[in-house]
Copies of this chain bind each other. A is one copy, B any other.
Amino acid sequence: MSDEEQPPSRSTYRHGGLREALLEAGIEMAREGGPDAVVLREATRRAGVSPNAAYRHFADREALLKAVSDSCLGFSADRIERELAEHPPTGPGGTPTEADARAMLRAVGLGYLAFAREEPGLFRTAYSVPDDLSHAFDPAKAGRAGRTPFQLVGIALDAMVETGAMPAARRQNAEFLAWATVHGLGMLIIDGPLRGLDDRMVDFATSRLLDMVDRGL
């Protein structure tokens, strides 16, 4: 037995990493039940601490939820990065070709939707807290590679323009269009009318949607 971490009891009066422990507990609850399942008291219970201790690290339940939500965006970024990693640029010197750029954008969409399907609770939680553009690059929302989902879409779109796969005139704010499209399908799949469709159907819809983006952007 080490120094601290066992929920049942701890030796020191101070917890040592309570904020982290509460966040972790919150993420676990979100994973299983979405944003509504993130319960402050339960988080303190799991951390082996009294309910009020949480207030030393989070202003209120909403603040904890916000932190959990940011982490979820980070996980989403990780999933997208993983998909991107499977399509490295094929051009000379690592520069992307036009086909690479299209593959990148597609990978971002696939990763985004894969995350929604694999971790619906976290996905819902990620977008359960109102936010705005000014925080789109907040490091708290970044994945392990340090990039937020928003940045990843942007990178793919930049490659589209650089390789001529997309007219530069349409580049501005194109993040929103690509994002909205994929986000909407994600919501429809996990909570909306597409819920319960078998995987092949969902894969098909995903593919069709990404085709549409590719054609229409």
Contact = CB atoms under 8 A, between A and B. Distances in A.
Interface of A: 36, 127-133, 136, 150, 173, 176-177, 179-188, 190-197, 204-205, 208-209, 211-217
Contact of A216 (B197, B205, B216): B216
Contacts of A212: 177, 181, 212-213, 216-217
A127 B176 contact: no
Contacts of A192: 127, 131, 183
B191 A131 contact: yes
Contacts of A205: 173, 176-177
A36 to B, nearest CB: 8
Given A180-B184, A181-B180, A216-B215, A195 B127 contact: no
Contacts of A190: 130
Contacts of A186: 184
B194 A133 contact: yes
Given A130-B191, A176-B188, A177-B205, 7 more contacts: A176-B205, A177-B185, A179-B184, A180-B187, A183-B192, A211-B216, A212-B212
6 contacts: A132-B194, A173-B205, A176-B193, A179-B193, A181-B184, A211-B216
A44 B173 CA distance: 46
Contact of A133 (B129, B131, B181, B193): B193
A180 B188 contact: yes
Nearest to A133: B193
A204 B187 CA distance: 23
Contacts of A183: 184, 187-188, 192
Given A182-B184, A183-B188, A187-B183, A209 B177 contact: yes
Contacts of A214: 216
A129 B128 CA distance: 14
A209 B180 contact: yes
Contacts of A173: 204-205, 208
